Each structure stands twice: as C-alpha cells, then as structure tokens.
Chain A
C-alpha cells in the first residue's frame, strides 16, 4: 500500500467518521472503498469494476454458499 495524506473540510470529516463507525470500519478503509468504487477499473472489461469490491474478511466466503442461501451445511 501507498501511504498518503488528504485534506478534508470539517463537515465532510465528521460525516466520514460517523459513516465509517456505523459500518464498523476504519476511516482509512472507508476512504479506500470509496476510491475503489469511484475509479474506473479495466473498462475494456466493464464487469471487472466489481472485482474485489467486497470484503467480508472470510477467506472461505465462496465456499459458504449453502449455509447462507439454504441455511445449512453439507
């Protein structure tokens, strides 16, 4: 990761802090997600804008389908 600094006006910072807290994530993570959503990603493949746009923190997210959808494990 690249470390950088940004300046925000006080009102935006207050909103940012509140929104991040409401989602249970850090201000830095909230900003990273916002930037990721805003930036174009591989527009020649427009579906790739959704690549990596979610982070549940679960390395086995794609293997826990039946329990989420059908409320059951194998």
Chain B
C-alpha cells in the first residue's frame, strides 16, 4: 500500500521500550495509533541482538513477543539475494557513511514500496531523502 505505510527501524523499537530515551514519548504516541508498518528482517536481527546485549535474554525474548503482538500491523520484509544486491549497491553508493546492511535494506524497502515515513532516530535512514519522523515531530 504505497504512501500509507511507515518504515520502522531498530531505533524506533528501542525508543519505544526505553523510557529514558529522549524520543520515547514520540514513539509511544506513534505506536499507540500506528499506520501499517514495514520493517526489515535485518532490523529484527539487529533489535534482538541489541536487547540481548544491553538487557539480557529475557528482554530480547520480549522484543520478539512485541513483534508477535503487532500481528498484521507489521510486515517483515525478507532479505533475499535480490534484496542483498540492492542493499549492496547502496552501501557502495554511500560508502563514506558507514552504512550498515540493515540500514541499506531499509532504504531499499522504502524506495521499492514508496514509503514516505520513516520511524527512526538514525540519520542514515534519511540519506535518500525520506523524512525521519524525529525531524517532523
């Protein structure tokens, strides 16, 4: 559904859960009444790793439960060989930006699905011109 979806980056999930994060209030409000959300399979891996390393296995498991509870509100975009090639092109294009593969995949997804809203606190996700929600709030 082009134009009606929002892309969700790892940082948005973290800001939702971390109540001392400076963007927590914003993401609490956004997740309280979300549009259809899209994310990358790599974001799921990143998020799980972040919660695992920062807060331990129970909190990491709860992150997976959070995703389960989002149900059909959240589409998880797979990372296949075609996506890999697209993301790889972006990491080369923005080679001076230390762009992770997860970020590159996010940029690819937003371009493919014509998503114009990006839930992220990571400026890398704004490299292709999609406005970050933290910049418009």
Residues on A close to B: CB < 8 A?
42, 45-63, 65-66, 68-70, 72, 74
Contact = CB atoms under 8 A, between A and B. Distances in A.
Contacts of A61: 14-15, 18, 20-21, 54
Q: Which secondary structure characterizes the binding site on chain B? A: helix
A48 B31 contact: yes
B49 interface: yes
B12 A62 contact: yes
Contacts of A69: 46, 49-50, 53
B32 A62 contact: no
Contacts of B70: 47
- Size category, B interface: 35 or more
B19 A47 contact: no
A61 B11 CA distance: 8
A60 B21 contact: yes
B33 to A, nearest CB: 8
Contact of A68 (B53, B62, B121): B53
A50 B50 contact: no
Contacts of B121: 62-63
10 closest residue pairs by CB, A with B: A52-B19, A47-B69, A62-B15, A62-B11, A62-B14, A46-B69, A61-B18, A59-B22, A62-B121, A50-B66
Contact of B32 (A48, A50, A57, A59): A48
Given A62-B14, A68-B53, A55 B19 contact: yes
Given A47-B69, A50-B62, A54-B59, A62 B18 contact: yes
Contacts of B53: 68-69
Contact of B17 (A52, A66, A74): A52
B28 interface: yes
